[in-house]
């Protein structure tokens, strides 16, 4: 934050333009929240649990380089929003996967989602391996190589 001198010599914090932008951003955020809640048809009564409907679904796959820097598989972006079995363009090492909006997802070493080629995963806080990726967690691929196994396909099922 910079100090500015006003016309009468007083010090003022920040620029007036920056302050105006912050106020405008706060007003826009408030209006967005109010319009979302006003359009909501689901009302929660005390003691009931609200059902959350996920409109957005995605599977994100990440690789890690030799220096430990993660990067996302960008070529999965369009297909990762659709259910069913999908092949990757090329076989790539999978370090971590995250999915949301699906009931479950599985990743495979071979194309065509061959059942015998399922990749096993675990969470950092849970050592129990599984092949089924549940929503909301970072799943780390299990392999002899620290950078993960080479994968070729994945499959996701939609919540009913």
* Domains defined along the chain, listed by start: 3-38 (no CATH), 58-158 (2.60.20)
153, β-bridge pairs: 87, 108
**The pair of three-digit structure tokens given for residue 152, joined into one six-digit string:** 């070729």
Query: pLDDT of 70-128, one tens digit each?
Result: 999 886 667 778 889 999 988 999 999 999 889 999 999 999 999 999 999 998 877 78
pTM of the model: 0.63
Structure tokens at 5: 């001198």
Work out the burial of residue 99: count CB atoms within 10 Å of its CB; fewer than 13 is exposed, 13-18 middle, 19 or more buried. Answer: buried
């Amino acid at each position: 934050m910079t100090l500015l001198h006003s016309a009468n010599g007083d010090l003022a914090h920040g620029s007036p333009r920056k302050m105006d932008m912050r106020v405008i951003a706060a007003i826009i955020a408030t209006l967005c929240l109010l319009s979302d809640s006003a359009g909501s048809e689901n009302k929660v009564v005390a003691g009931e649990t609200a059902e959350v409907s996920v409109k957005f679904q995605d599977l994100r796959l990440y690789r890690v380089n030799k220096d430990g820097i993660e990067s996302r598989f960008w070529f999965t972006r369009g297909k990762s929003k659709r259910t069913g079995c999908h092949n990757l363009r090329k076989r790539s090492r999978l370090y971590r996967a995250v999915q949301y909006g699906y009931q479950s997802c599985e990743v495979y070493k071979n194309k065509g989602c061959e059942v015998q080629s399922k990749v096993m995963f675990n969470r950092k806080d849970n050592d129990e391996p599984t092949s089924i990726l549940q929503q909301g967690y970072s799943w780390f691929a299990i392999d002899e190589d620290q950078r993960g196994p080479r994968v070729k396909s994945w499959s996701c099922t939609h919540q009913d």
